[in-house]
Each structure stands twice: as structure tokens, then as C-alpha cells.
């Protein structure tokens, strides 16, 4: 039996810190996201505990009358333990060398490991359709795990929100689809 896991980047937010909330546009996007996805019979909804991620999935959870399971493994990847000026260059390095990390930060390998563990748990606990609300960097690293063509340039091109549908057959990846219809309807 096929299982579909929808991997979603949160809607437009006011910032990157864990407490950053959605912008007015982001709140509108979350309502449109719920309208678009409400016909999918999700049996599990998971979210990063970051405020912007939870706010992005709440309208869907309310429409479906489903609870949201908060999963710290879906948090954004921590690039560094301190502010760095050349963060974009450093981020690109982490995509080119998955073992590279900055002091106080996670390597791509470490972040992907926790993201994949979350996917595996979702597969185990989902009957047919699950949704994981996460962040752009981690989303890209998870996709890269299954298909190496997803890279730094993929991350740079992501929008808020962005939706990928991962189809699994017996816990093996069968396909990855960018759900363009949803993306286009939200912009």
C-alpha cells in the first residue's frame, strides 16, 4: 500500500527566531493552504514547534478536526551558535560538504538525520496520508536524502509555503513531486 507524506515549508514569517510569527500575508497563506489541502484525508499532522510552523498548520488542523503532533526533529537547522555575517556562504558550504559545521551549529548530515527519523516515524504512524510542517533548510536536506539533485539551489528557490508530496511503497521512496498546483494557487 502506498503512503503519501506531504512535506511543507511554513508560510511567510516575520523572522527566523523560534518565536517569529506569520506575517499578515503568511496568515492568509495558511488559510489558503488549509482550503487547498482539506480534501486530503490526513490521518497524522506533525509540526515543528516553532511558532511560524504551528501557525501555518493550525487552520488545516481546525478544518480537519485533527490534533497536531509537535516534533522537535522538524525544527529549522541550526547553522551556528552565534550570528555570522557571511551566513549564506557558510550555508552553501554545508550543502557542498554534509559533514561541515560551524561552531555551535549542525552539519547537514546531523540535521538530515533527525529529519529522516521524523519521516520514518510518520511513515510508521500514518495509514495513508501524513503531513509534516517544517522549515526550508531542513525540507531541502530531507529531499536531498532521497534524491541528490535537491541542493543549495533548491533551497534558494523555495517559496513560502512550499509543498512536496513523497510517495512511499513499503517504506521505500517511490516518487517526489512538487505540488505545483497548490504552490501556484497560493501565490
Q: What are the sequence ranges of the domains in the chain?
A: 2-77+97-186
Query: Under a CB-based contact definition with an 8 Å cutoff, are residues 161 and 11 in contact?
Result: yes
15 Cβ partners below 8 Å, 6+ apart?
Answer: none
The answer to whether the beta carbons of residues 68 and 46 sit under 8 Å apart is yes
Q: Could you give the CA distance from residue 3 to residue 173 in angstroms, rounded to a whole number?
A: 10
> In the chain, which stretches have pLDDT less than 70?
180-187
Assigned superfamily of 2-77+97-186: Phosphoglycerate mutase-like (3.40.50.1240)
pLDDT computed for residue 170 by the predictor: 87
Residue 183 pLDDT: 45
* E-strand stretches of the chain: 2-9, 44-47, 69-70, 129-134, 162-169, 172-178
Amino acid at each position: 500500500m502506498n503512503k503519501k507524506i506531504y512535506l511543507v515549508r511554513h508560510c511567510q514569517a516575520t523572522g527566523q527566531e523560534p518565536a517569529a510569527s506569520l506575517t499578515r500575508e503568511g496568515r492568509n497563506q495558511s488559510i489558503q493552504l488549509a482550503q487547498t489541502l482539506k480534501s486530503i484525508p490526513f490521518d497524522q499532522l506533525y509540526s515543528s514547534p516553532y511558532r511560524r510552523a504551528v501557525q501555518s498548520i493550525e487552520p488545516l488542523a481546525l478544518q480537519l478536526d485533527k490534533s497536531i503532533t509537535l516534533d522537535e526533529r522538524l525544527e529549522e537547522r541550526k547553522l551556528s551558535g552565534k550570528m555570522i555575517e557571511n551566513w549564506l556562504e557558510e550555508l552553501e558550504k554545508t550543502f557542498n560538504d554534509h559533514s561541515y559545521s560551524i561552531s555551535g551549529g549542525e552539519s547537514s548530515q546531523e540535521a538530515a538525520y533527525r529529519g529522516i527519523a521524523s519521516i520514518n516515524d510518520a511513515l510508521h504512524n500514518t495509514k495513508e496520508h501524513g503531513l509534516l510542517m517544517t522549515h526550508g533548510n531542513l525540507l531541502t536536506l530531507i529531499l536531498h536524502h532521497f534524491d541528490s539533485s535537491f541542493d543549495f539551489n533548491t533551497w534558494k528557490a523555495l517559496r513560502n509555503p512550499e509543498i512536496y508530496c513523497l510517495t512511499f511503497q513499503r517504506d521505500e521512496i517511490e516518487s517526489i513531486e512538487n505540488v505545483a498546483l497548490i504552490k501556484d494557487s497560493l501565490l
